[in-house]
Amino acid sequence: MTRAVPRRRALSAVRASAVVASLALVVTGCTAGGADGAAAPHDGTPSAVAKRVPAPAGRTPDGTVLVADFGADTVTFVDPARGAFDSVRVGTAPYGLAVGDDGRAWVATAEGVAVVDTAERRRITRIPYETKGIGKPTHGEYRGGGMGIALAPDGRHAYVGVNRPGGNGTVEAIDTRSLKVTGVAEVGRRPFDVDVARDGHEVYATDHDSFDVTVVTPGSLRTRRIEVAPYGTEGGLGSWLKPHYTAVRPSDGRLLLPFEGERLAVVDPETGRTRIERMTADTHQHGVTITDDGTLFAVGTGPIDPSRGKGPSLTVRTPQGQEKVIPLDGPHEDVAVSPDGRTAYVTGGFTRDGYWNGISVVDVDSGTVRRLAAGDRPLGITIL
């Protein structure tokens, strides 16, 4: 695209200030309080104090939305029509989550991977990391510990990206029956996202701060790196133009990584080659998901340079490349889509400043949006 060079020049000052801001965050971190003045729920038990609407009788209903509360050390259960009804404490600063067919949720926290029985709404256990050098559990964008997490298609293993502050991260493989770490693979810096090929033969760690995706082979845990940097890497750690989240395309296994609402990097994980397709939202993009028919959903957090880019949005992109851009009110981080593809749920947590405590519920056909209070700085999201 012809805008690439002017955008890089315009962002040079922004990058410089971002380096300073990033270093300040590394040194000072961020703190986060409890959810809207409520007392923290107890470990491993359903929370009475975090309820905003009456909890349903019996087991958690299908269609409940589950979010990871980065600001409250919990996961929160949300009725998509009425709002949050329960929370369970999982560990410090939960980030990503994944849910298996057995109803167990696997939650990446700063302390370890928490396992939650979503039907009974209780924590089963928390599995400590084996990665060294992640530091003490803490909050903040650059905290050590788990980030992206995914399950193998057969449910036998969970794979979690672990951030090692100041250095390269890892992917840890967890046996979901023994609840033990079975191996550790070195990957790039800050593995924002982890995805698994549909046949389970490869695991993909999206390495934010090293501009690449690490391909991990399960079992042997052999790795190879693929650079994904459609704007180049010249900004280094201070650059905003890095990969964040990845979707695996169902039709051919290609990896889809949106950048700035301008470019979609389509990566062949076998050859390492990248093709660039045009996008239209013109906004800094984070979370993505993809439906079985290949429709891509990408979250826009707002412009890097307010004098140039557009505000927060949700892009809905068909397999043919046609896009609908739905404006959102304020930054968001991640997205999940209902089984029928008609409703998107977008978390307001955001990894940087400007987050809010809830989710936006988006009618995909009409483009109408309503806000729903849900947790404290929610990042990861899934539908039970």
For residue 24, with 0-12 CB atoms within 10 Å meaning exposed, 13-18 middle and 19 or more buried, which class applies?
Answer: exposed
pTM: 0.87
CATH 2.130.10.10 fits domain 4-383: yes
Q: Over its length of 384 residues, how does the chain's per-residue pLDDT go in tens digits?
A: 322 323 333 333 333 333 333 333 332 232 222 333 233 333 333 333 345 799 888 999 999 999 999 999 999 999 999 999 999 999 999 999 999 999 999 999 999 999 999 999 999 999 999 999 999 999 999 999 999 999 999 999 999 999 999 999 999 999 999 999 999 999 999 999 999 999 999 999 999 999 999 999 999 999 999 999 999 999 898 899 999 999 999 999 999 999 999 999 999 999 999 999 999 999 999 999 999 999 999 999 999 888 889 999 999 999 999 999 999 999 999 999 999 999 999 999 998 878 999 999 999 999 999 999 999 999 999 999
Pairwise CA distance, residues 145 & 161, whole Å: 8
How confident is the model at residue 354, as a pLDDT?
A: 85
Pairwise CA distance, residues 382 & 338, whole Å: 9
The β-bridge partners of 259 are 263
The distance from CA 11 to its chain's CA centroid, rounded to whole angstroms, is 25
How confident is the model at residue 1, as a pLDDT?
A: 31
Instruction: Give which of 208, 176, 181 is closest to 194, Cα–Cα.
Output: 208
Three-state SS across the chain? Answer: CCCHHHHHHHCHHHHHHHHHHHHHHHHHCCCCCCCCCCCCCCECCCCCCCCCCCCCCCCCCCCCEEEEECCCCEEEEEECCCEEEEEEECCCCCCCEEECCCCEEEEECCCEEEEEECCCCEEEEEEECCCCCCCCCCCCCCCCEEEEEEECCCCCEEEEEEECCCCCCEEEEEECCCCEEEEEEECCCCEEEEEECCCCCCEEEEEHHHCEEEEECCCCCCEEEEECCCCCCCCHHHCCCCCCCCEECCCCCCEEEEECCCEEEEECCCCCCEEEEECCCCCEEEEEEECCCCCEEEEEEECCCCCCCCCCEEEEECCCCCEEEEECCCCCCCEEECCCCCEEEEECCCCCCCCCCEEEEEECCCCCEEEEECCCCEEEEEEC
The distance from CA 71 to its chain's CA centroid, rounded to whole angstroms, is 15
How confident is the model at residue 215, as a pLDDT?
A: 98
The total number of residues written for the chain in this structure: 384
Parse the chain into domains and list their residue ranges.
4-383
Residue at 364: amino acid letter:
V
Task: Find out whether 183 and 173 touch, Cβ atoms under 8 Å.
Answer: yes
Instruction: Give which of 306, 311, 312, 302 is closest to 10, Cα–Cα.
Output: 306
Task: Find out whether 105 and 116 touch, Cβ atoms under 8 Å.
Answer: yes
Going 21 to 211 to 288 to 80, the CA torsion angle's sign is negative
Task: Find out whether 99 and 197 touch, Cβ atoms under 8 Å.
Answer: no
